[in-house]
Amino acid sequence: MNDLRTRQLRCAWRAAFRRRHERKGADGAAPSQSGVTRESCTVKHNSISFTLIELLVVIAIISILASLLLPSLKRTRDLGKQTLCVGNLKQLIAALHMYADDYDDRIPVANQDAAPAYVIPSDYPPEWYQGTWYVVIWPYMKSRAGMLCPNGDFKGISQLPPVSGHYGCNSPGVFGTPPTWGGTPKRRDSITDPSHIYALFDFGLTMGWQPYALSNASLWNGYTPGAPWNTGPSNYDTDGSDWSKKRHPGGVCVAFLDGHVHVIDVVHFSTNSAAWN
């Protein structure tokens, strides 16, 4: 770069010197015999070219590096979504406890498909199903993204989202069964050892219980995403994109009733009967 700049300055100096003596010659003065001649001041730039073999070698190296890096990038992205899911469940379990504080220490029932139905908040997403616990938790969250698993996938039939493919509640262990099933809301203080009891978690249906967690995801059964015994086809996940694989690298994100959130292996999550209460 310095050599190029030096040559450019030298050329400019020569051109200026030449013009000065040409003007003197035009005025009748003898032109200087300084020996300065017109020489080309064209600056040549070195060009770089690749042969076909060299180009193919570069492409091969880039392909190898990409094959090594892409799996790591995908795992990093998946771990990021798992962290986001854990954050969602922390907010949801906090919202559940705020609801219980406002309603005489009672936890809502899992779903309410018939009278007396839930009172639907005016700002509740109109495209969402109106018969689940999502309705009563919504006023304490008011965040669509916060109530949906970032790796969830609603593909159910004859229902509206998010009845499946996102988060489920532990019913009847924590959330009571619907009144149409003879259930009533549970009092929070009636549940012993809340630090070991599932409350909310990744699941194939908004109402989760252990028989569903151990089912094979067929027809109208709920399911544990990615459980090895899942065979489908599921009416809550018609293309198999949720029940056939784990949502997160660690397995299932679970919020316990005491408020802490943990990521649990899918098999341990489903088979731990004590945690289902």
**pLDDT one-digit tens code per residue, 115-143:** 567 789 999 999 999 989 999 999 999 99
- Mean pLDDT value across residues 249-269: 97
pLDDT surpassing 80 at residue 31? no
Q: What is the CA radius of gyration of the chain?
A: 36
The domain locations on the chain are 88-276
What pLDDT sits at residue 228? 96
- Mean pLDDT value across residues 238-255: 96
- Mean pLDDT value across residues 30-38: 47
46 — pLDDT class (breaks 50, 70, 90): low
- Mean pLDDT value across residues 26-39: 49
Give me the DSSP letters along 20-41. Answer: HHHHHHHTTPPPP-S-------
pLDDT surpassing 90 at residue 194? yes
What pLDDT sits at residue 2? 53
Q: How are strands ordered across the β-sheet holding 167-170?
A: 207-208, 167-170, 198-202, 252-256, 261-264
Q: What is the pLDDT of residues 60-75, one digit of tens each?
A: 888 888 878 777 778 8
The tokens describing 250, both together, are: 């660690």
Query: Is 92:146 a contact under the CB 8 Å cutoff?
Result: yes
CA 22 to chain centre: 74
* 29-33, 73-77, 139-143, 209-213: segment of lowest average pLDDT: 29-33
- Mean pLDDT value across residues 159-169: 94
pLDDT surpassing 90 at residue 242? yes
CA dihedral angle for residue 255, residue 261, residue 267, residue 270, rounded to 10 degrees: -20
59 — pLDDT class (breaks 50, 70, 90): confident
Alpha-carbon gap, residue 110 to 107, rounded angstroms: 9
pLDDT surpassing 80 at residue 28? no
